[in-house]
Structure 1
């Protein structure tokens, strides 16, 4: 599996990967609606690709199987989306994508990776904790604003948390 920076031509394929990955939520209590929920717009993908903050996983045959979309905010790299196509899940692709984002943050001299996620869904907070992310009990203004915006879009605030991974704390599992 090749992990590489996304190209503008990849942007058209990313919503289908996100849609496929979201099917996991169809069996999650109270979250089934996310399987058919809104996706990141292609224009937003293109914008982040131009910022060189999106990486894709690609097979030897050129099939995109996953992506991670990030953005540098102050001294941290925020992860907006990590999606792996359902046909390719549970093969370590998400970890490889996360490792690419981590290496990018390290090379840029950033202090940490951040994200927001579900606290009680196995492939969310517990999986990120295994990589070294820690829940922020006081997320700070930027991450609290992200959580508040998610709540306005229907994500249950009691189930959402902010997490942070300081540089030097990444634990990649294979």
Structure 2
């Protein structure tokens, strides 16, 4: 299947929660995390804000159907990945990797040092997948911003023992 990646536009904001909800259905197969399949998605106002910053990219088919997205935000000299979602009908086709390449290029062009994210340590399409791309686990105890994000996730209900922070140095090529 052919697809392309482009910067998100404001009109995409209404489409992205549907994609995120579809992607989240995979959590029904993750013991103890099934509830995430029915949890809240990023809100349209938040998406509009991030799109306005120029740090959201979408994957679309040649027919123009938006099938995935990645939302990021710049913090100091790092670009943080808030959400990466690919519609369930289009997963395992290389779309996620291509989406990660866009903020990587953006961060490199802007002279930033790294991409960061928080994720589940033990879910195959989370930390192990990001590790295949070159992301490394970082000690959140020494990274105040990441520690605060992990703490907020625990307050939301995510299990602390399963959450980690990861970083990909811009000096390291995506694998």
Q: TM-score, normalised by structure 1?
A: 0.97
Question: Structure 1 pair 15/171, CA: closer, same or farther in 2 (3 Å)?
Answer: same
**Corresponding residue SS for 1:82:** strand
Correspondence for 1:93: 95
Q: Could you report, residue by residue, the CA deviation over 1:94-151 in whole angstroms, capped at 9, with x for unpaired residues?
A: 0000001100000010000000000000000000001110001245100000000000
**Which of residues 143, 147, 151 in structure 1 aligns to 2:150?**
147
Q: Could you report, residue by residue, the CA deviation over 1:18-48 in whole angstroms, capped at 9, with x for unpaired residues?
A: 0000000001010000000111000000000
Correspondence for 2:66: 64
Please state if 1:163 is matched with 2:166.
yes
Separation (CA, whole Å) in 2 of partners of 1:65 and 1:170: 25
Correspondence for 2:48: 46
**Corresponding residue SS for 2:15:** helix
Question: Structure 1 pair 139/17, CA: closer, same or farther in 2 (3 Å)?
Answer: farther
**More deviation in 112-121 or 137-146?**
137-146
Offset of residue 168 of structure 1: 2.2
Separation (CA, whole Å) in 2 of partners of 1:128 and 1:80: 14
**Corresponding residue SS for 1:130:** helix
**Corresponding residue SS for 2:59:** strand
CA contact (8 A) 1:76 1:110 kept: yes
**Corresponding residue SS for 1:56:** strand
Offset of residue 169 of structure 1: 1.2
Runs of 4+ more than 3 Å apart = none
Aligned CA RMSD, in angstroms, stands at 0.7
1:18-33 to 2 correspondence within 5 Å?
18-33=20-35
CA contact (8 A) 1:139 1:162 kept: no
